[in-house]
Structure 1
Amino acid sequence: MFMDSLLLSLNRKAILPDMEFFVNLGDWPLVLKDYKGTSNRTFPIFSWCGSTDSLDIVMPTYDITESTLENMGRVMLDMLSVQGNAKEQWDKRVAKAFWRGRDSSRERLKLIDISRKYPDIFNCSLTNFFFFRDEEKIYGPKSDHVSFYSFFDYKYQLGLDGTVAAYRFPYLLAGGSLVFKQESKYYEHFYNDLVPYVHYVPIKNNLDDLVEKIQWAIDHDEEAKKLLKMVDYFPMKICYQKCILLL
């Protein structure tokens, strides 16, 4: 179901020869650079997520593809709907870092510890436990799900890896909040066009500088606001343009 609409769209625009190719329907990249298998061959596998230690050909994620193909056709989560439903302007947003998600990385659990230690600048909690169910008593209880549009009642958004790259990242960039992105080996199809401290604020993979950088943004609101203005939704344009070109 994730590939049919993409292939049908391509088939309406071009005459495709009889061909076979590999599509990875999981999240993790599969063609590792240091693969030492018996044949020691690499394959042209298309994946939604790439990494610095893999050779997969990265294509737009399934939800970005769907929102591009269905743009304006029906109500769904896409970048335009995020822009249209982010209610508050910067000056009226809460000066805290906001995050909701499931327990799909150890760093996300660390974020809960940080949030509890600094409740005046963080509003973060887990909505589901799957990978660390035995630690729910430590990092729970689970919080209710929140409308994605309500994320942007807050000035600062956190982009943290899940099992791979967090596929919400392009939507976070479109919401008019300042995005703090975890350094990671994983990437989506448009990441190479992004510039740190222009389109987002990088934070260490282990989150050790997260508190410092959020506090800086709070203490330097005008500078943070100017940084946000530099984005000018460039990531949204690049993300969609690249997806349209591929479709």
Structure 2
Amino acid sequence: MVESGRPKAGFRLVIIDGRAYVEKFMDAYQSRDKFTLWGILQLLRLYPGKIPDLDLMFNCEDRPNIFIGDYIGPGPNSTAPPPLFRYCGDDDTLDIVFPDWSFWGWPEINIKPWVPLMEDLKQGNKRTKWSNREAYAYWKGNIKVSMVRYKLLECNLSREHDWKARVFMQDWDKEQEQRFKNSNLADQCIHRYKIYVEGVGWSVSLKYILACDSVTLMVKPYYYDFFTRSLVPMHHYWPIKDDGDMCNSIKFAVDWGNTHQQKARAIGKAASKFIEEQLRMEKVYDYMFHSLNEYSKLLAFKPTIPPNATELCLEELACPAQNLATKFMIDTLVKRPSFSSPCSLLPPFSPTDLDNIRIRKETPIKQVETWEKNMSYK
């Protein structure tokens, strides 16, 4: 089963006796694979001797591609799906979701590692009180990567309409020339509402948007990453339609928030609190630990070092890197083992638990849809 994932994998990772070995199959976009592997090395340093032997395939692209429909259920003609790790999943796929590379930094666009960036965002939140923030919905990014982002442009201010949205196209080439002076994420925490919309797949931007104390207007997502299924509509974010009514949906949300400022502020605060408490780097590492530990229990063979694999060393990753990449790796280097063990893994949800979670999410979304249809809110 592991071997069958090779055609769709970017690299193979084998851990034996606490040492990591990697076999690369294809180059990843920018430095995604390098920083993902760097994060795994830090996990080995944080919990030395606690990561079991394992053998896995990893894909660094945006969209999951182990489709459920390609595999037949139990029986003599069944086909086993390859266990493939990646950054996101959806309801139609079986990819194993793992934290993305940006937690250790994204040097190509000058996004800091998660720990110092979180501090920047907390300071940015303090600069402008919610009541003094711009009373419209803000989004800035690359519209060329998805149709829904392209349609979002139609929600911008025009002579005919004010949809209460301000949408800006990000020119990364120009930003690079200007040394990213207009792309500081902490400087964007000056709006009451911030829009999240997916790109090619899910987007790493969600955690930055949720951390801003603003009301996150989440255009109906198709994909999820390792933490987003914990988010509850109308508690952590406001749901936005992804169809032809998207602009109306955004305007309605902004009008509601400006009319119910205390409730709107509470949504923004709940989101930033969730990010601060539940997405601490310690918990990210614990999620990584449990994902790899539970995966290793399923292996029915003893992992061995592939003939074409090379041992993964800190110096091998950090030394060839340049400028920001080197700085980010030094900044995220785990300097000592953890004094405590990883958090305890809770038992799996029961079917009843899962039904309750589904209802808890669907109910507020239906309520918002009813408000929008009647053009009234409470």
Q: Same fold (TM over 0.5)?
A: yes
Structure 1 distance, partners of 2:201, 2:154, is: 21
Match of 1:7 in 2: 40
Cα 1:77–1:214 change in 2 (3 A) is: farther
Deviations 1:33-68 (A, max 9, x none): 11269994311111111111111111111112559x
Structure 2 distance, partners of 1:232, 1:127, is: 24
Match of 1:137 in 2: none
- Contact 1:65 1:243 (C-alpha < 8 Å) held by counterparts: no
Q: Equivalent residues in 2 for 1:203-218 (5 A)?
A: 203-206=240-243, 207=246, 209-218=249-258
Cα 1:234–1:17 change in 2 (3 A) is: closer
Match of 2:317 in 1: none
Structure 1 distance, partners of 2:116, 2:52, is: 34
How far did residue 238 of structure 1 move?
1.7
Cα 1:65–1:57 change in 2 (3 A) is: farther
Does residue 115 of structure 1 match 2:156? Answer: yes
SS for the counterpart of 1:3 is helix
Structure 2 distance, partners of 1:223, 1:121, is: 19
Deviations 1:99-153 (A, max 9, x none): 1000121121221111134447222121249xxxxxxxxxxxxxx9543222211
Structure 2 distance, partners of 1:107, 1:231, is: 23
| Counterpart code for 2:166 | N
What is the TM-score normalised by the length of structure 2?
0.54
How far did residue 155 of structure 1 move?
0.7
Does residue 172 of structure 1 match 2:209? Answer: yes
Cα 1:99–1:47 change in 2 (3 A) is: same
- Contact 1:193 1:238 (C-alpha < 8 Å) held by counterparts: no
Does residue 186 of structure 1 match 2:223? Answer: yes
| Counterpart code for 2:268 | L
Match of 1:159 in 2: 196
SS for the counterpart of 2:166 is strand
SS for the counterpart of 1:21 is strand
| Counterpart code for 1:51 | D
Deviations 1:50-95 (A, max 9, x none): 111111111111112559xxxxx98976323211223211111110
Q: Among residues 223, 228, 241, which one is paired with 2:263 in the alignment?
A: 223
| Counterpart code for 2:56 | F
Q: Which runs of 5+ in 2 are unaligned?
A: 1-33, 107-111, 173-180, 290-378
Q: Among residues 54, 61, 79, which one is paired with 2:118 in the alignment?
A: 79
- Contact 1:85 1:149 (C-alpha < 8 Å) held by counterparts: yes
How far did residue 199 of structure 1 move?
0.6
SS for the counterpart of 2:201 is coil
Structure 2 distance, partners of 1:237, 1:21, is: 30
For this pair of structures, how many residues does the alignment match? 229
How far did residue 158 of structure 1 move?
0.4
- What stretches of structure 1 move > 4 A for 4+ residues in a row? 36-39, 73-77
| Counterpart code for 1:114 | C
| RMSD of aligned residue pairs (Cα, Å) | 2.9
Structure 2 distance, partners of 1:105, 1:20, is: 34
What is the TM-score normalised by the length of structure 1?
0.81
Structure 1 distance, partners of 2:115, 2:283, is: 20
Structure 1 or 2: more helix by fraction: 2
**Which structure has the bigger radius of gyration?**
2
> Which has the higher mean CA deviation after the structures are superposed, 1-10 or 191-200?
1-10
